[in-house]
């Protein structure tokens, strides 16, 4: 071992030549004793140095163990950056920079809502006021809870939680959409509970779900689409001719099954699973159902078949309930119905000329319409998510279809002057696509598919597409007091509404697109149609659960649709 210059001088006494000129034996013996003593002292010093180093290492081990225990046990105050620090080696610096830009956009949107529309359903940024478009249930606030949590915006999350605990009141004389209230409010509260472990969210979710339950009290069990939150009287809107809407009736399964899992009360799950049982009795061979369902007989009517508005999320939930149920035999029929529907979807697929954009037609009777909603751009992500459940040949076929559809959806954005998509598109021979309804209300479906395809393929192209879409939102939709949609994607004229799903879905999917895959991993979480992640709970083959889920939960460690929007 090398020694320092300052310590080497003492060893000159141990050099034999030093004593050749000093014959006195006593002096030699004394110096020999000194040398031996120095050897012993030096060895002890080295041992002490090693002991010091070992002590430092042991101290560091204890500190790290303490930090891990603190992260596991601490409630929602744990900041998002903890997860980033743990994953530095895989966190691309460009991704990190883009993620921070999306986070800043969320802060801008949220602080504007907080300043001008706190506790109301949605913000009107241009006039700097709020509007209760969902009966005054705090839709934007509840929709944003999990986004705030995942992004590590702890101060904002805590303030929102306090409002939920003290001010959220469902006792309102208001005819609520069962679908919208389920995906935004029930889903948002359950996700906040799963992420934070705070029981106030579960209690509130149960309160609103109990108020919605009478909607399922029909002869067939197919729910009515609206219900008064005070008197519990359900009904369907007159413009449907008394029919229930397919997407509205078939998009409560994830939330209500989750609620039964977490409370131990089976009534919620029984209501929503009965809907699928009824529909399965007359489920067609192609798996395609029209958008109107008779709540008395439980049968489909003769109406439009679409993967866009009023049809979309029914098909999404067939797949996701299978995932939520751990892909066990208890939920096998969901997967079987979904695979039939994917064969039906394939029969609606066409390619445009001259550019061969792949798109999904709508069907009415035996005729097809070459029209595709931006809402249908959830389909690439859904198909990619379900492709792994097929054998290798079909898996490749459906993943290719997902990628082709995603390219079309991306071009919905790229082909307009503002680089933002219109509400729907028509396809004409020799002309490819043209905008139909030209507004944009900051929908999430295309970036949702970018997120899934990135997670499932690792292809960074989807990140670039998502970033381009985000930049278009920043350029065209950002205003002084939040974000607004466009009345026309060709002219860029702005509207006066910040839809709650922009915070719940669009910004969340963009943030996750630039986050490591360990943030809300797809084998542990399933997203509802409003992008609220719900924990996948172990489920046995008989359909039961090994343990009740209303126990105290550890918070999730974070990285640090509708859907029926309006154009006003």
Which residue do the tokens 């696509």 mark?
A: 433
Measured distance CA(301)–CA(114) in Å, rounded = 44
155-164: long-range contacts at Cβ-Cβ below 8 A with a sequence spacing of 24 or more? 156/107, 156/110, 156/114, 157/76, 157/196, 158/76, 159/114, 161/76, 161/192, 161/196, 161/198, 161/200, 161/201, 163/118, 163/119, 163/138, 164/138, 164/189, 164/192, 164/200, 164/201, 164/204
Q: Is 427 helix (H, G, I), strand (E, B) or coil?
A: strand
Tokens of 331: 């939920």
Catalytic residue among 312, 339, 373, 448: 312
Which residue do the tokens 């009904």 mark?
A: 235
Whether 297 is a known active-site residue: answer no
Q: How far is CA 261 from the centre of its chain?
A: 20
Give the closest residue to 443 by CA, choosing from 374, 495, 511, 382: 374
Q: Name beta bridge partners: 245.
A: 292
Whether 180 is a known active-site residue: answer yes
Catalytic residue among 121, 122, 146, 180: 180
The strand ranges marked E within 471-540 are 478-479, 482-483, 525-527, 533-535
**Annotated binding residue at 32?**
no
Q: What burial class does residue 292 get, using C-beta atoms within 10 Å of its C-beta: 0-12 exposed, 13-18 middle, 19+ buried? A: buried
CA distances from 234 to 85, 177, 239, 257, 277 (A): 50, 10, 15, 21, 21
Catalytic residue among 146, 255, 316, 423: 423
> Are residues 142 and 205 in contact, defined by beta-carbon separation less than 8 angstroms?
no
- For residue 424, how many C-alpha atoms fall within 13 Å in the half-sphere facing its CB? 16
Whether 403 is a known active-site residue: answer no
Whether 474 is a known active-site residue: answer no
Which residue do the tokens 């472990």 mark?
A: 197
Measured distance CA(276)–CA(470) in Å, rounded = 37
Catalytic residue among 445, 448, 488, 505: 445
Task: For the beta carbon of residue 62, count every other beta carbon within 10 angstroms.
Answer: 10
Give the closest residue to 163 by CA, choosing from 196, 186, 180, 140: 140
Task: For the beta carbon of residue 521, count every other beta carbon within 10 angstroms.
Answer: 12
Peptide bond into 354 cis (omega under 30): yes
Measured distance CA(405)–CA(408) in Å, rounded = 5
CA distances from 283 to 39, 286, 288, 300, 344 (A): 91, 8, 8, 9, 12
Which residue do the tokens 């499932």 mark?
A: 456
Q: Name beta bridge partners: 426.
A: 371, 434
> Are residues 422 and 416 in contact, defined by beta-carbon separation less than 8 angstroms?
yes
Sequence ranges of the binding site = 529
Sequence ranges of the binding site for Ca(2+) = 529
Catalytic residues: 180, 312, 423, 445
């Amino acid at each position: 071992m090398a020694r320092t210059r300052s310590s080497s001088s003492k060893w000159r006494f141990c050099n034999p030549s030093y004593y050749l000129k000093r014959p006195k034996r006593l002096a030699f013996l004394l110096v020999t004793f000194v040398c031996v003593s120095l050897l012993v002292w030096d060895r002890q010093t080295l041992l002490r140095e090693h002991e010091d180093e070992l002590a430092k290492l042991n101290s560091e081990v204890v500190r790290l163990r303490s930090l891990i225990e603190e992260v596991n046990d601490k409630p929602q105050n744990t900041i998002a950056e903890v997860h980033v620090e743990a994953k530095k080696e895989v966190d691309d610096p460009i991704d990190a920079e883009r993620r921070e830009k999306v986070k800043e956009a969320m802060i801008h949107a949220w602080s504007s809502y907080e300043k001008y529309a706190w506790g109301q359903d949605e913000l009107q940024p241009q006039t700097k006021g709020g509007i209760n478009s969902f009966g005054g249930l705090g839709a934007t606030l509840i929709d944003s809870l999990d986004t705030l949590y995942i992004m590590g915006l702890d101060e904002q999350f805590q303030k929102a939680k306090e409002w939920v605990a003290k001010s959220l009141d469902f006792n309102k004389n208001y005819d609520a959409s069962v679908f919208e209230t389920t995906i935004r409010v029930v889903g948002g509260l359950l996700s906040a509970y799963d992420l934070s472990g705070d029981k106030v969210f579960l209690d509130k979710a149960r309160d609103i779900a109990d108020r919605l339950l009478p909607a399922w009290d029909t002869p067939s069990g197919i729910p009515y689409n609206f219900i008064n939150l005070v008197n519990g009287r359900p009904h369907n809107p007159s413009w449907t001719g008394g029919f229930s809407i397919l997407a509205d009736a078939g998009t409560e399964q994830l939330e209500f099954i989750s609620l039964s899992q977490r409370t131990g009360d089976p009534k919620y799950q029984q209501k929503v699973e009965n809907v699928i049982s009824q529909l399965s009795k007359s489920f067609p061979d192609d798996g395609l159902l029209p958008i109107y369902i008779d709540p008395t007989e439980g049968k489909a009517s003769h109406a439009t078949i679409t993967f866009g508005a009023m049809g979309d999320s029914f098909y999404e939930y067939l797949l996701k309930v299978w995932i939520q149920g751990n892909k066990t035999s208890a939920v096998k029929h969901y997967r079987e119905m979904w695979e039939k529907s994917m064969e039906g979807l394939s029969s609606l697929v066409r390619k445009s000329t001259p550019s061969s954009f792949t798109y999904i037609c709508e069907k009415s009777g035996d005729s097809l319409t070459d029209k595709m909603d931006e809402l249908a751009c959830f389909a690439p992500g859904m198909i990619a998510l379900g492709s792994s459940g097929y054998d290798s040949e079909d898996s490749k076929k459906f993943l290719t279809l997902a990628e082709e559809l995603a390219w079309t959806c991306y071009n919905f954005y790229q082909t307009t002057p503002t680089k933002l998509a219109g509400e729907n598109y028509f396809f004409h021979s020799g002309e490819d696509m043209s905008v139909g309804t030209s507004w944009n209300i900051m929908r999430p479906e295309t970036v949702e598919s970018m997120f899934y395809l990135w997670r499932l393929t690792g292809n960074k192209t989807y990140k670039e597409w998502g970033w381009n879409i985000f930049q278009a939102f920043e350029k065209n939709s950002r205003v002084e007091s939040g974000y607004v949609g466009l009345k026309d994607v060709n002219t860029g004229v702005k509207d006066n509404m910040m839809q709650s799903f922009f915070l719940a879905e669009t910004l969340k999917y963009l943030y996750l697109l630039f986050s490591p895959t360990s943030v809300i991993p797809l084998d542990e979480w399933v997203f509802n149609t409003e992008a609220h992640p719900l924990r996948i709970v172990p489920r046995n083959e008989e359909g039961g659960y090994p343990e009740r889920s209303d126990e105290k939960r550890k918070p999730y460690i974070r990285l640090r649709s509708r859907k029926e929007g309006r154009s006003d």
